[in-house]
Amino acid sequence: MFRRRSAIPGFGLTLGITLTLLSVVVLIPLSAVALKAAGIGWDGFVAAGFSERAMRAYRLSFGAAFAAAAINGVFGMITAWALVRYQFPGKTVLNALVDLPFALPTAVAGIALVTLYQPGNLLGVWLDALHIKAAFNFTGVTIALTFIGLPFVVRTLEPIMRDLAADVEEAAASLGASRWQTVMRVVLPSLGPAWLTGFALAFARGVGEYGSVIFIAGNLPFKTEIAPLLIVIQLEQYEYGAAASIAVVMLLVSFAMLFVINAIQAYARRLAA
């Protein structure tokens, strides 16, 4: 039997609407990308999806997304720790601000970040003095992706940190562990799966991010061109097959990430049970 009988009505109707809308809005259009990429043949797909220019774009997108997720892995973790464990003035505001990247349109973030960090401007002046270039290069892309990814790490870690049983830490301490040992041996390992999930979510979002990045990226082919921008450029030149090929490569990586995230969460659930 496909479903267990229940007294609650409306199953057929609501599932029907759900599947219809899901198919029409998401699944069928998404399949168009795969069909388009398949339509230009294997050689065409490889030529477009793995061209030198595309490979450079992936390297930038994936590399900067990884760097940003790593930065957020450190600073997002201590932010979550401070929000869960400490009491300090302005905590509510800081807590609300962490979600800013979810609420602020990406294009706004993009022009704000480039104005802040480009050479000769506001913060850029200070960076110039330190001979650091933080816009129109890898660093610039990483800054934008750090902005975008921060809440994923913080919001994934927070509930796990809150649920960390104090008695485990107390037990470690009463058995003679120093605070440092307790944190390193007891607290951090139990945060592992959540940290990886947050890292993967931030990474996945960063790889596909467009709006906040293109203003600060520089957008030079082979150098500072992110993969989503390359799709847009191919589209503007009516190279639909090439655009679809790059999209398929990115989708495959995203789905692999999604699979990894689910596997981590399933593993963590088994560990907890």
Partner 1 sequence: MSSAGIRKARLATEDPIWVKALILTLVVAFLTLVLILPLGVVFTQALAKGWKVAWAAVREPDAVAAIKLTLLVAAIAVPFNAVFGLCASWAIAKHDFRGKAFLITLIDLPFSVSPVVAGLIYVLVFGAQGWFGDWLIDHDIKILFALPAIVLATIFVTFPFVARELIPLMQEQGVAEEEAALSLGASGLRTFLRVTAPNVRWGLLYGVLLCNARAMGEFGAVSVVSGHIRGLTNTMPLHVQILYDDNDATGAFAVAALLCLLAVVTLVLKTTLEVAQPDVAGRRAH
Write out the binding residues for partner 1, residues 186-245 only, by CB under 8 A: 198, 201, 204-205, 207-211, 215, 227-229, 231-232, 235, 238, 240, 243-244
Out of 50, 222, 255, 267, point to the residue binding partner 1 (CB under 8 A).
255
Asked if 65 and 203 count as a contact pair (C-beta separation under 8 A), the reply is: yes
Write the binding mask 128 to 167 for partner 1: x where contact by CB under 8 A, - elsewhere: ---------------x--xx--xxx--xx--x------x-
Residue 165 and residue 221: Cα distance in Å, rounded?
Answer: 51
Q: Which is nearer to partner 1, 190 or 254 (CB)?
A: 254
Q: Which is nearer to partner 1, 7 or 273 (CB)?
A: 7
Asked if 113 and 141 count as a contact pair (C-beta separation under 8 A), the reply is: no
Q: What number of chain residues touch partner 1 (CB under 8 A)?
A: 102
Cα distances (Å, whole numbers) of residue 25 to 18, 189, 205, 240, 258: 11, 41, 21, 20, 20
Residue 39 and residue 45: Cα distance in Å, rounded?
Answer: 9
Q: How far is the CB of 131 from partner 1 (least distance, A)?
A: 18
Write the binding mask 79 to 98 for partner 1: x where contact by CB under 8 A, - elsewhere: x-xx--xx-x---x-xxxxx
Q: How far is the CB of 122 from partner 1 (least distance, A)?
A: 7
Q: How many CB atoms lie within 10 A of CB 123?
A: 14
First to last CA, the chain: 29
Spell out the residues 6+ positions from residue 205 whose beta carbon is closer than 8 angstroms to its own. Answer: 65, 148, 149, 152
Where does this chain touch partner 1 (CB under 8 A) — which range of 1-9, 40-48, 50-58, 217-225?
1-9
Within residues 115-134, the interface with partner 1 by CB under 8 A covers: 115-116, 122-123
Out of 46, 59, 108, 184, point to the residue binding partner 1 (CB under 8 A).
108
C-alpha closest to that of 207 among 150, 261, 153, 149: 149
Within residues 18-57, the interface with partner 1 by CB under 8 A covers: 18, 21-22, 25-30, 32-33, 36
Q: How far is the CB of 236 from partner 1 (least distance, A)?
A: 9
Residue 161 and residue 173: Cα distance in Å, rounded?
Answer: 18
Torsion of CA 43, 44, 49, 54, to 10 degrees: 110
Q: How far is the CB of 235 from partner 1 (least distance, A)?
A: 6
Its sign, for the CA torsion 84, 86, 87, 91, is negative
Q: How far is the CB of 187 from partner 1 (least distance, A)?
A: 10
Q: How far is the CB of 180 from partner 1 (least distance, A)?
A: 9
Out of 184, 258, 263, 271, point to the residue binding partner 1 (CB under 8 A).
258
